[in-house]
A and B are shown apart, each in its own frame.
Chain A
Amino acid sequence: MTAVTKRSALTRLSTFVARRRWLKTTLLLGPPLLWLVVVYLGSLFSLMAQSFFQLDDFTGIVERTFSLDTWKRFFDNPGNVPTAVRTLLMATAVTLGSLGIAFPLAYYVARYARGRIKTLLVLGVLIPLWSSYLVRVYAWKTILSNEGAVNWVLDHLGLGAVVDFLLGLPFIGGNSLSTSELGQFAVFTYVWLPYMVLPIISAIEKIPRSLLEASSDLGAHSPTTFRKVVWPLAIPGVVAGSIFTFSLTLGDYIIPQIIGDSSPFIGLSIYLFQGVAGDLPQAAAFSFVPMAIMAVYLTLARRTGAFENL
């Protein structure tokens, strides 16, 4: 008897909800929207608001009154522009480097690899993600050190001069592979590579074989087919991957602490302002830089239809 009442109550409730579209939508989207607006956008706005407060140098306490002082100091700081440029260049280089390695690999996996080989290749890309990021970065520091594995192998192959030459180059060189921009580039590329490979695989897998056959039937050579058919259809995957590699490099503050010559990146600067100097307004002001860069990047990416592939 009670069961029947319960069921009918439930049925009536579901009918009630089903007949009112607005209610259904509200119940479905309400919680996630609330999350998005209040928690996500809310914290974003409170962060932005912080940059209009200022730090009292005497007491070290943040004064919660409107002021443009923080922004003035932000633009006066001679270190900020080089830091932003360095980070931007590295993020671009890492994205291009990852693309160069990821595309052929992804193409092979999506088009030619079958069965066990395919599983092995995909696993090979994924397995590094199972171990700690920090362990991998520290391992690279040892590998790239002056007396590390890379130098040892090259020395024994008689290629020690190549390393010396590369390290002697301006901008990318340094005292050791582990403190040079070159080393930093290698480690960033290694760490973020899987995020580039996977979206490209899924994009290429979606290209119907019939299109390639049609291209070939119409007399196009492989390079032409690649240029006119494969590449345009793979672009959404490439862009999706590049969003990962670009934004992850832009925000990273661990690798520049371990690999490289201690030159700060944007993320590291923000961390120092907030975590060490206790200057939250200054950190908030600096965090506008990566937000602005990503906003531009995402706007451009959207035009390529990349978001349909995420």
Chain B
Amino acid sequence: MKGRMRMKVRSIALFGAIALVVAACTQTPTTTVPPATTVPQGTTATTAPPGTTGTTAPPGVGAGEGALSIIAWAGYIEDGTTDPAYDWVTAYESATGCEVSVKTAGTSDEMVALMTEGAGQYDLVTASGDASLRLIKGGTVQPVDISLIPSYAKVDERLQEAAWHFVDGNHYGTPYQWGANVLMYNTDVFSEAPTSWSVIFEEQTLPDGKSNKGRIEAYDGAIAMADAALYLAAKDPALGITDPYALNQAQFDAVVALLRDQRQLAFRYWHDVFAQMEDFKNEGVVAASSWPFQVNLLVAEGQPIASTVPAEGATGWADTTMMHAAAPHPNCAYLWMEHSLNPVVQGDLAAWFGSVPAVLEACGASGLLTDTGCATNGLDSFDQIRFWKTPQADCFGAGGECKSYSNWVSTYTAILGS
């Protein structure tokens, strides 16, 4: 998820052919919010007396304050300005009177920074799992009362109390969308889908008779170490890796050794989706970790590309709409969280982004997301996915001592530089 949209901006000029899609995702639907004059008068969501509902507000939420400010991945909050078919803002605005303004962020870290420095400025953030726990821990976001969000009951049960937003019995936000880091491969080389991630971790002869050396790619971000840990968990059970994000010293060393071997095989490391697509088209790269987004675009271009979730499973990202501890427009925020779980909104967004909706009803509800859309984007692989979360020194409370995220980053950088 990191860096996805920032990189798109860079690529626009080059990839004219897909410029439409790109442009669609890079333009931020910015509706300017009128200055503080419309900011709250009285009722906040959590203290609203029953019965003071606005026209479309669920029971318990007060009338909107007239504005809502969201930090989001580009392309996540579309108001129809990029493509009139993709609009899940206008209806919300006219129903609630909350004018939406969006601040786009390119990385999880940027989101965390904006939130920590944006007290009183931002209401919501669409945080990935590697950011959400940091926000909760830092006290930057507040628990939400899901009884004020009736649609919460419709959220995929597997996501309702997920570890990256449900902490100590509190819900910190509403699930938005999720997706897997799939294994993308070239179908000219692999007549059948590879069954193991080993094709990108260990030197071997591919079905076309040539070595995989120099023909594979891995993700250019420390969180990719979890991919290696997941592979080792299956390959070498003696290591005892149960959570790819909680690694002790011995497990970490094994992961590093594996990644050092991978360094010799990797064509390069990717973080720019369009650069990766280019590598598959023009550089002879045939297998890599990737996102459904690139797979869908390449398939749409008629390239011999497919993707799979190998036997070991896959890592993935799951985003949560979280509310700032000092949100200036709490009622509008609650109304948005309710709106964001609308099946049509969820389905349209999934079609736009190549992700999987958090509300399963969406799979049949959106005309833009065809009936097979959810399956294409990876719905059935949920149980095989270990979702991104920021590695923590306390092993997420599981006991023992784990390598922290800053260890991950400095080590991964060292591997890439070796």
Binding site for B on A (CB under 8 A): 55, 57-61, 73, 77-80, 82-83, 86, 132, 134-135, 138-139, 141-142, 145-148, 175-176, 178-179, 257-258, 260-264, 269, 272-273, 275-279, 282
Chain B residues with CB under 8 A of A145: 278-279, 282-283
Tell whether A141 pairs with B13 under 8 Å between CB atoms, given A57-B407, A277-B409, A278-B109.
Answer: no
Do residues A261 and B404 form an inter-chain contact, with CB atoms below 8 A?
no
Tell whether A58 pairs with B13 under 8 Å between CB atoms, given A79-B410, A79-B414, A178-B283.
Answer: no
Q: Mark B247-268, 1 if CB is under 8 A from A, else 0.
A: 0000000000000000000111
Do residues A277 and B267 form an inter-chain contact, with CB atoms below 8 A?
no
Nearest chain B CB to A271 CB, angstrom units: 10
9 contacting pairs across A/B (C-beta < 8 A): A57-B393, A79-B415, A138-B10, A142-B14, A147-B283, A262-B268, A262-B416, A276-B109, A282-B406
Do residues B414 and A146 form an inter-chain contact, with CB atoms below 8 A?
no
Chain B residues with CB under 8 A of A58: 392-394, 404
Chain A residues with CB under 8 A of B220: 257, 262
Nearest chain B CB to A58 CB, angstrom units: 5
Q: A141-B275, A176-B284, A262-B266 are in contact. List 9 more A-B contacts (CB 8 A).
A: A79-B410, A79-B418, A83-B413, A86-B417, A135-B13, A261-B266, A273-B409, A275-B109, A276-B222
Kindly identify which residue among A139, A264, A275 contacts B14, using a CB–CB cutoff of 8 Å.
A139
Do residues A147 and B282 form an inter-chain contact, with CB atoms below 8 A?
yes
Kindly identify which residue among B13, B14, B283 contacts A176, using a CB–CB cutoff of 8 Å.
B283
Chain A residues with CB under 8 A of B405: 60, 277
Kindly identify which residue among A80, A142, A176, A258 contacts B267, using a CB–CB cutoff of 8 Å.
A176
A132–B137 Cα gap in the complex (Å)? 40
**Is B377 an interface residue, CB under 8 A from the partner?**
no
Nearest chain B CB to A7 CB, angstrom units: 44
Tell whether A138 pairs with B13 under 8 Å between CB atoms, given A55-B406, A179-B267.
Answer: yes
**Is B310 an interface residue, CB under 8 A from the partner?**
no
Do residues B410 and A282 form an inter-chain contact, with CB atoms below 8 A?
yes
* Total A-B contacts with CB atoms under 8 angstroms apart: 126
**Is B364 an interface residue, CB under 8 A from the partner?**
no
Nearest chain A CB to B228 CB, angstrom units: 16
Residue in B closest to A57 when the chains form the complex, CB atoms: B404
Do residues B416 and A263 form an inter-chain contact, with CB atoms below 8 A?
yes
Chain A residues with CB under 8 A of B392: 58
Chain B residues with CB under 8 A of A278: 109, 112, 406
Chain A residues with CB under 8 A of B282: 142, 145-148
**Is B132 an interface residue, CB under 8 A from the partner?**
no
**Is B40 an interface residue, CB under 8 A from the partner?**
no
Nearest chain B CB to A74 CB, angstrom units: 9
Looking at B14, B271, B390, the one whose CB has the most chain A CB atoms below 10 A away is B14
Chain A residues with CB under 8 A of B13: 132, 134-135, 138
Query: Which size bracket describes the interface of B in this complex?
Result: 35 or more
Chain B residues with CB under 8 A of A61: 138
Do residues A83 and B417 form an inter-chain contact, with CB atoms below 8 A?
yes
A276–B112 Cα gap in the complex (Å)? 11
**Is B221 an interface residue, CB under 8 A from the partner?**
yes
A218–B408 Cα gap in the complex (Å)? 68
Kindly identify which residue among A86, A139, A272 contacts B409, using a CB–CB cutoff of 8 Å.
A272
Chain A residues with CB under 8 A of B418: 78-79, 82
Do residues B137 and A59 form an inter-chain contact, with CB atoms below 8 A?
yes
**Is B355 an interface residue, CB under 8 A from the partner?**
no
Question: Which B219-234 residues sit within 8 Å CB-CB of chain A?
Answer: 220-222
Tell whether A79 pairs with B10 under 8 Å between CB atoms, given A57-B404, A276-B221.
Answer: no
A262–B222 Cα gap in the complex (Å)? 13
Chain B residues with CB under 8 A of A282: 406, 410
Do residues A138 and B11 form an inter-chain contact, with CB atoms below 8 A?
yes
Closest 6 CB pairs of A and B: A79-B414, A277-B409, A175-B214, A262-B269, A57-B404, A145-B282
Nearest chain A CB to B298 CB, angstrom units: 15
Do residues A179 and B393 form an inter-chain contact, with CB atoms below 8 A?
no
Chain B residues with CB under 8 A of A60: 134, 137-138, 390, 404-406
Residue in B closest to A265 when the chains form the complex, CB atoms: B417
Do residues A138 and B14 form an inter-chain contact, with CB atoms below 8 A?
yes
**Is B107 an interface residue, CB under 8 A from the partner?**
yes
Chain B residues with CB under 8 A of A86: 417
A176–B283 Cα gap in the complex (Å)? 7
Residue in A closest to B407 when the chains form the complex, CB atoms: A57
Residue in A closest to B415 when the chains form the complex, CB atoms: A79
Chain B residues with CB under 8 A of A80: 414
Q: Mark B85-120, 1 if CB is under 8 A from A, else 0.
A: 000000000000000000000010110100000000
Do residues B109 and A264 form an inter-chain contact, with CB atoms below 8 A?
no
Nearest chain B CB to A151 CB, angstrom units: 10
